[in-house]
Amino acid sequence: MTIQLYLVGVMWQFYEKQQQMPPEIAREKAFLTLHSMMISDGAKPKRADKQIAFIKEMSKLKDGDEALAIHIGYESKPDDESLSEVFDHYIDEPRVSGALWRSYDRGKKIILLGGLFVGVVAVWFVTIFIPESSELTILATGLVAACLFILPTFLIGLLIYRNKVKQGERS
Amino acid sequence: MDNKQINQAKSEDETDLLNHCVQYAKVILNEQLARIKSENMTLRLNLNS
């Protein structure tokens, strides 16, 4: 979405400065052009309509100012570093798209290896200390133990992400 | 030219302008993404050296 907001800014600048259109019309045209780009890139019309409505909603801040990505796109010049500037602003912003995925990507090794370890320990424990257990019981114990590790770890990760978002909203 | 022809010409102009704007935005975006990619590569090389 950050890139789409940036593109709206670039296209707004194109219509207003290169085609001499009034600002409000140029802004509206930029959204229409983004809609057309999404359709030509293969998005379904209904999905594109929803996405444009959402981007329009996100394009204005609570105080009525334009969103940062739109503003930087609007002020961009050829051969500048405007897009990386947008990302630099969002570097510590957990709400920006991809942050949740990156956290999951970092934590998935811990979750999977931890789950595997706990499962193996549970299977070992049952095999050694309750030898009369059936194979199915041993397997089920391993799976349940792995789930008991994976689910809480995943939930703790989500909780940390939620806290980071709340901290970001406060600051 | 009658009204129909005028409207058709207007619509063609609008489509041309829209396509022009799309091309402009795509060029800018690709240029910016290439710049970020090369910056990222430089950063990685610096970190590795």
- Reported as a single tens digit per residue, the pLDDT across A136-151 is 999 999 999 999 999 9
| Over residues B9-28, mean pLDDT | 84
CA atoms within 13 A on the CB side of A42: 0
A19 chain-B contacts, CB cut-off 8 A:
17
B47 has a pLDDT exceeding 60: no
Q: By CA distance, what is A9's nearest residue in B?
A: B25
Please tell me which residue of chain A has the smallest CA distance to B33: A83
Chain B: residue whose CA lies nearest to A19:
B17
At B49, the pLDDT band (50, 70, 90 cuts) reads: very low
- CB nearest to A19's CB, from B17, B29, B33: B17
Q: What is the per-residue DSSP string for chain A?
A: -HHHHHHHHHHHHIIIIIS---HHHHHHHHHHHHHHHHHHTT--HHHHHHHHHHHHHHHB-TTSPBPHHHHHHHH--TT--HHHHHHHHTTT-TTSTTHHHHHHHHHHHHHHHHHHHHHHHHHHHHHHH-TTS-HHHHHHHHHHHHHHHHHHHHHHHHHHHHHHHHHHHH-
DSSP at B16? H
Given a contact cutoff of 8 angstroms between Cβ atoms, the answer to whether A26 and A16 are in contact is yes
ipTM of this complex: 0.73
Question: Cβ B21–A33 below 8 Å, yes or no?
Answer: yes
Low-confidence ranges of chain A (pLDDT < 70): 91-99, 168-171
With CB atoms and an 8 Å threshold, state whether B25 touches A19: no
Distances (CA, A) of A5 to A51, A60, A144: 11, 11, 45
pLDDT 10s digits, A3-27:
889 999 999 998 888 888 888 888 8
Give the pLDDT of residue A66. 82
Q: What is the mean pLDDT of chain B?
A: 76
